[in-house]
Amino acid sequence: MPSNDTERCDHLSHCKARFDTGFQLVIKNMVDDEAIKIAPTEEELAVIRDIIRTITKTVKTFNVYPKDNPIYQKFATELIEKFNSFFETSDQLKIDIEQYSLLYKESEVYHSEEKTDNIAMLLFSDGIRQITFDAGITSAEISDFINILRFAPKSEISDDDDIVTLFWEKNIKNMGYTAVEDTVDDDLVVDEEFLRNDPDQEISEEPSADIEALLASTGNVFPSETNAERLTESELAALRKELADIDEQSLLASAVDLFFGLLADEQDTEAFPEVVLNIGKIMDIRMQGKDLKGVIEILRGLKKFLAVYNTFSQREIIENVFFRAGSSENLKVLIEGSQDTVEIRQYLFLMGPQFLAQMIQVLGELNDRKHRRLLCEILAEISKQDISALAEALDDEKWYLVRNIAMILGMIKATGSEKYLGKVLKHSDVRVRRETIRALDGISGGETKNLFLSALEDSDVTIRITALKALKRSKATGLFDVLSRNISRDELRKKSFAEKKELLETIAVLGSEEAFPLLAELFRKKGLIEKDEITEIRASAAYGLGLLKSKEAMVLLEKETNSKNSMLREACVKALGRS
């Protein structure tokens, strides 16, 4: 206790001062605690999220464009503007860092569990637990921060180039950070014994018994160096090429993802043209490497953005990429370079009907039969709604292309295509005419009957027989009169047995009972000396009579079942068997 009044006064003053100081600290802590409890508004959180989103977007952009590029400058300016906007109401932006999240005043403003392009994990893994941005931060300082985020993932092999070190080297005036000295990933479970480090324990230079046992147990797992086969120079060269291809594909894929990410974030025309131009360049590289899958991914991605960027100028920019992809040169290279029919189909369907002319041109240049057949099938599916492009190709000077187009029209079976096929039914090449008559056979239209009748005058017997079969199936009215009017024994003699038989069977089907007198007359008339052509006419008539299935027809056929002529006898037996 103080011994006199003077000492008591000093003691009381000292106590009062300590009380005042303590009271002030209590009040300050109460105020700080109260401030902490004030939760940020949704508008405030939205601003912070926008800043974080712009930071990640800017990092990606800085990885692609040089500093003098307008897009680079645009993103840098946009980021500093957003920081300045925030600092109009606050003096400091403080962000707490967790493994997968960034927090502002304990509210999550960023979350990602991705292993790459994850700003939270990047900072957290290097020990950063908090970063602060102060009012007055400059564009140059923000660029330094962005560059730290860019270069840190590329410095994983060097402990001297982690984010903490980069922060220390940059010494950004209006930025601060809090870091821990050592970090252990909570996801990695490590035995406690492996983490012990006793400074007094001497490390033995000899292997322990446990280690010797372990080495002994694994002795037969790996072959000895003397038994290992070395790779040849050619094998090493092939391996290097394969690794180079993989690396290039990986880089291209990353670049495509980056540019599509920019398109998704930047829905304006300023950055749009250059971003799409770069996507087109990557597509060109993939085309040169015959990477059909990679080209398909790019085209699909661009098609999605046609719904977002739908002004005339924007659509034109995207469509220019498609025009390059759909050129006849690129179509041919990619079709010939791929054995995957599914990918070829996907690619051509992405091109769509507007590229039919280019596809048709490629069809006329392909040498591989399987590729031509596949392309014909795809063209048939794409052209169903509009066959005008196919119709124009029927005038091509290459006969094999015209034949393929005729086949495609037959596959489509569209009513109205007969008027186009009728033009090539008189083609100089018989192979074209044969394909045309087959195509017409599958089309039901008013014009086909007359086309089949005109084909009966063709010089090729195959075409005439095909036309007869088609007429027989059609059973159109009036055909019997037309065909029977021109039948004579002299005309029949000039025809092959197969054509005679088909013609008289067609007469029987089309005329039914009306056909009996004509067929009976041809069947009965033998001649003084029955020559082969006469026998063929009688046998052909027998097949026709068998289709009538009338009693009179059966009687005639039975009379000749014992004929000495084997051709006639066989025809009668078969005709009766049918009936």
DSSP letters along 272-299, please? HHHHHHHHHHHHHHHHHTT-HHHHHHHH
Closest by CA to 495, choosing from 543, 521, 442, 457, is 457
pLDDT at 223 over 90: no
> pLDDT confidence of 248, banded at 50, 70, 90?
low
**Cα–Cα distance, 374 to 370 (Å, whole number):** 6
Of residues 205 and 285, more confidence is placed in 285
pLDDT at 25 over 80: no
What is residue 445's three-state secondary structure?
A: coil
Query: Positive or negative CA dihedral for 436, 437, 438, 439?
Result: positive
Of residues 265 and 570, more confidence is placed in 570
Residue listed under structure tokens 């391996």? 239
Read off the amino acid at residue 245. Answer: D
pLDDT recorded at residue 238: 58
Average pLDDT over residues 45-63: 83
Angle at 402 between CA 397 and CA 408, to 5 degrees: 160
**Cα–Cα distance, 39 to 309 (Å, whole number):** 38
pLDDT recorded at residue 541: 94
Of residues 49 and 33, more confidence is placed in 49
pLDDT recorded at residue 490: 85
Of residues 66 and 410, more confidence is placed in 410
User: Do 326 and 358 touch, CB atoms closer than 8 A?
Assistant: yes
User: Do 512 and 543 touch, CB atoms closer than 8 A?
Assistant: no
> pLDDT confidence of 255, banded at 50, 70, 90?
confident
Q: Which of 373-382, 505-514, 524-533, 554-563 has the lowest mean pLDDT?
A: 524-533
Of residues 304 and 244, more confidence is placed in 304
pLDDT recorded at residue 16: 46
pLDDT recorded at residue 275: 86
Average pLDDT over residues 162-169: 81
Closest by CA to 542, choosing from 485, 510, 497, 479, is 497
Q: What percent of the chain has pLDDT over 70?
A: 75
Read off the amino acid at residue 272. Answer: F
> pLDDT confidence of 94, banded at 50, 70, 90?
very high
Average pLDDT over residues 489-517: 92
Average pLDDT over residues 174-182: 80
Average pLDDT over residues 225-229: 40
**Cα–Cα distance, 518 to 504 (Å, whole number):** 9
Ranges assigned E (strand) in 166-293: 175-179
**Cα–Cα distance, 24 to 148 (Å, whole number):** 41
pLDDT at 3 over 60: no
pLDDT recorded at residue 185: 44
Q: How do residues 489-499 score in pLDDT, each as one tens digit?
A: 888 988 999 99
pLDDT at 195 over 60: no
Average pLDDT over residues 254-258: 79
> pLDDT confidence of 6, banded at 50, 70, 90?
low
Q: Which of 36-45, 187-196, 287-296 has the lowest mean pLDDT?
A: 187-196
**Cα–Cα distance, 404 to 402 (Å, whole number):** 5
pLDDT at 218 over 50: no
Q: How do residues 333-347 score in pLDDT, each as one tens digit?
A: 888 888 889 999 999
> pLDDT confidence of 66, banded at 50, 70, 90?
low
Q: Which of 7-11, 54-58, 426-430, 523-527 has the lowest mean pLDDT?
A: 7-11
Of residues 348 and 144, more confidence is placed in 348
Q: Which of 6-10, 17-21, 77-81, 208-212 has the lowest mean pLDDT?
A: 208-212
Residue listed under structure tokens 């020990």? 127
Q: Return contacts of 516-524, CB within 8 angstroms, 24+ apart.
A: 516/545, 516/548, 516/550, 516/552, 516/553, 518/484, 518/487, 519/544, 519/545, 519/548, 519/553, 520/545, 520/552, 520/553, 520/556, 522/489, 522/492, 523/556, 524/556
Plot region of 433 (φ>0 → left; ψ -120 to 50 → alpha; else → beta): alpha
Averaged pLDDT score across all residues of the chain: 79
pLDDT recorded at residue 446: 67
pLDDT at 306 over 80: yes
> pLDDT confidence of 7, banded at 50, 70, 90?
low
pLDDT recorded at residue 459: 94
- Per this entry, what is the length of the chain? 579
**Cα–Cα distance, 213 to 303 (Å, whole number):** 62
Of residues 158 and 385, more confidence is placed in 385
User: Do 141 and 173 touch, CB atoms closer than 8 A?
Assistant: yes
Q: What is the pTM of this model?
A: 0.61
**Cα–Cα distance, 454 to 506 (Å, whole number):** 16
User: Do 298 and 256 touch, CB atoms closer than 8 A?
Assistant: yes
pLDDT at 373 over 80: yes
